[in-house]
Chains A and B, each alone.
Chain A
């Protein structure tokens, strides 16, 4: 019913506008206005005035909305580099905002001020080299400053992760995310897409000893506050993109081409809940590269905890092999003993 009303409303509005215009035109024809040239009609004044009104009303509305809803669209920052990129964003906003306001005012003001008058002749002013040089050079200088500051931030963000960074493998697939941690040896084992199966979703290669203690975090990604975290990102089917807005983090996941992104979270989930006054707040990974029908719902929770809490959680996790002892069969016989020890499977093997 609601949609029907919308449809009828739209049709009626259009019909009314068309009818009014038709009547106006007929009235004009009757008055002989149509025979006059456009520049001699009152329409010129009306349009000039409308430009001025548009400037004032849209300016007021934009200012009101920008100020009153600032907290809603300004996302909280929860990473070290996010502070830098946000600062860059707002510097750029100020620079472009000033240009935006000045040029739009000039555009609409000139349109109003210099509307056609029979008594006036336009100024013949084809060029002015000095003026053109000025407004070529000034934008070039301003943009150079923005380029330099952006380049510096970009270089810092994309340089190699610190050696002590916590490493997590993030893998995207239709339509979910999986995470793999390197375990106690702090080295992720090799993977091979041909080894993927419904349980070994990463295609972990158990001929590589580094795989023996790798583990999955299950339903959520856990990372520590205040320590660098390195995401090793990949996809196993189509393109995906890791996006965690509060961390100002985005990096595509590409099949056959691992990518990476490192950052330092600076607010735990609990701190963020307190800051926002929202006990239900959670960080989530979004997917921002279209990947199919479930693209919009492809998410996984991210939990940021204090460093000591993280270490405790990390130590409690069970390696994949321990959870799935059947995969011990895929370990070469000369490495089985090492695998059992690395995966902490001693007790289970003894029981078997």
Chain B
């Protein structure tokens, strides 16, 4: 097999179309209760898009309140009913509910399920050379538990007392005392029930991803040849598997405190004219348990995005990703350190100051592997031959917002500085850039890059360009100014800033942010149009439109159940052989043996061929001897 035939080989399967789909089911088993990892991935993606729309819309509603305080929101009454008061303004408690739901939806349902659920499901079997996940049934169950969780959460929006309203962290005692606020009543119960289902879904998914990566890799696909996407999904699953159960425990204890009279988080409370009987508990315990998941959660949404970016940047720079081993090492470092930095969210919670010192040290150390990743991305771009596909634009955008948001983490990780910045808009700006936007950009990069494989058609790249630029500029216009108001001491989760004179100074900036948010949200309509239109009417995709090296591009244009019609390709090389000196083309897929590319082999690769030949010879000799 010569490299000259790489392209031909990649599109050779096109003619098969669905012929390799050995699993012919009816509509329900194919599109609803499917056990095919690709269909489950699409289910995750479509549900994620739906939730992104809902979560984004909620943020627009509360940005209207913040940007235009005093403005009549009467026109929202058909949507919000009595949550718009007789004066035409938004109810302050519903504002908190909107903030809570926006955070929960975006973090868990969009960036966790929508990003990791989609691409882990879609890419793990395809990129490691497996027919499907280790357990298709468990995989299906994972999606449906997530769907159930999202429906339960959605229902809470229609409760008379409203959804949970204590922030996405739902700190007790607020969340544990139904009499504290309306949003601590049935809405809070539904929040907890939804989270229990969601966590169960994540655990089933995570176990499946880990098992699949460890056991079902095709011949030759050693860990050192795994694409960085798979490394990212694998480590993300490890983080989720080890940290989500702790939130599950925290949630269950909260249910006990709410409903069964226990005092895990409650002590010495006088509320509603009554002294409660609870003594001995501590709200800080909940914070420890919550952030034990809450901080790794940042990396649960970020690592897959970084993995996708690694793949997209290398492919479109036509260069090997720089420092593959360092990239894997940095992800391993982030994975380990992510478990020991949680208490930096609690510097001013009443935590022992000594512990604060320890967590400050660990928190700032985690910036080192993050810095390594950024430098490696930059070096990958250096002297590349960059093709600006929409996926590449979003990947470069990711690196930019990751730098911006990551650097502000150094301020917040420093406990002395955090005293002033904690719970201000500086924090909001920080995590929306480093976690929210970067992960969202990773999601978008993934969708644009793998859409041709997912749906067999191409998305319109011009629409993709406009979508990127409006989103990229919009994201910066929304979140960058928040740093200024954060430094000035604006507390987050404030319904109105008109109470304090010094906060009112920034009324113009707040309006600017709100307008930018509305425009950025509106720009997503371009994506929605492009996505759904292209799904049915887009140009037919070639099998390997981006000339990429990983195994999924060796399948047919629209791979069926089982992924490959014949044998699964064997892997010979790492996935980043782009622009190799001497090679006839600027990419060499992983399944092309070194013996087929003598003109570009490195010395150690020729040695490997010699060793393989020697081993084969020994095998033949011993077989003949046995015969």
Contacts and interface: CB of A to CB of B under 8 A. Distances in A.
Contacts of B377: 107
Contact of A193 (B180, B268, B492): B268
Contacts of B267: 255-257
A293 interface: yes
A72 B379 CA distance: 39
Given A96-B410, A155-B357, A238-B177, A256 B269 contact: yes
B323 A127 contact: yes
Interface string B84-120: 0000000111001000000000000000000000000
Given A194-B275, A237-B271, A255-B269, A43 B476 contact: no
Contacts of B64: 3
A96 B411 contact: yes
A13 B92 contact: no
A143 B367 contact: yes
B381 A114 contact: yes
Interface in A243-265: 243, 245, 248-252, 254-257, 259
B494 interface: yes
Contacts of A28: 462
Contacts of A103: 374, 378, 403
Contacts of A111: 381, 386, 388, 396
B365 interface: yes
Interface in A265-320: 280-281, 284, 286-297, 299
A162 interface: no
Given A238-B180, A245-B502, A290-B166, A250 B423 contact: yes
A327 interface: no
A72 B506 contact: yes
A64 interface: no
A24 interface: yes
A120 B493 CA distance: 52
B416 interface: yes
A38, A69, A155, A281: most-surrounded residue (chain B CB, <10 A): A38
A235 B188 CA distance: 22
A158 interface: yes
B495 A245 contact: no
Interface string B512-541: 000000110011011001000000000100
B378 A288 contact: no
Interface string A109-139: 0110011110011111111100110011001
Given A241-B423, A293-B96, A255 B268 contact: yes
A147 interface: yes
Interface size class of A (residues with CB under 8 A): 35 or more
Given A44-B387, A100-B404, A114-B385, A288 B422 contact: yes
B318 interface: yes
Interface in A73-87: 73-75, 82, 84-85
A341 interface: no
A58 interface: yes
Contacts of A297: 496, 499
B1 to A, nearest CB: 21
Nearest to A298: B499
B549 to A, nearest CB: 13
A126 B576 contact: yes
B273, B349, B466, B518: most-surrounded residue (chain A CB, <10 A): B349
A150 interface: yes
Interface in B15-46: none
Contacts of B218: none
Given A75-B488, A114-B385, A248-B420, A43 B461 contact: yes
B261 interface: no
Given A88-B414, A251-B350, A17 B466 contact: yes
Contacts of B469: 50
Interface string B401-417: 00110011011001111
A290 B389 contact: no
A88 B171 contact: no
A118 to B, nearest CB: 9
B324 interface: yes
A147 B463 CA distance: 45
Given A25-B460, A120-B385, A257-B350, 14 more contacts: A10-B522, A73-B506, A88-B417, A122-B385, A132-B326, A136-B326, A139-B372, A198-B273, A238-B174, A245-B420, A255-B269, A286-B489, A292-B180, A292-B181
Interface of B: 64, 71-73, 75, 91-93, 96, 165-167, 171, 173-174, 177, 180-181, 266-271, 273, 275, 279, 281-284, 317-326, 348-350, 353, 356-357, 360-361, 364-365, 367-368, 371-372, 374-379, 381-389, 393, 396, 399-400, 403-404, 407-408, 410-411, 414-417, 419-420, 422-424, 460-463, 465-466, 469-470, 472-473, 476, 480-481, 484-485, 487-489, 491-497, 499-502, 505-506, 518-519, 522-523, 525-526, 529, 539, 576, 578-581, 586
Pairs of residues from A and B, 5 with the lowest C-beta to C-beta distance, nearest first: A256-B267, A245-B489, A158-B353, A153-B416, A123-B383
29 contacts: A6-B518, A14-B525, A38-B389, A38-B461, A47-B465, A88-B417, A92-B414, A92-B417, A93-B411, A107-B403, A114-B382, A116-B386, A122-B317, A122-B383, A122-B579, A124-B581, A127-B324, A146-B364, A150-B415, A154-B416, A193-B275, A238-B177, A249-B419, A251-B350, A252-B349, A256-B281, A281-B501, A291-B174, A296-B497
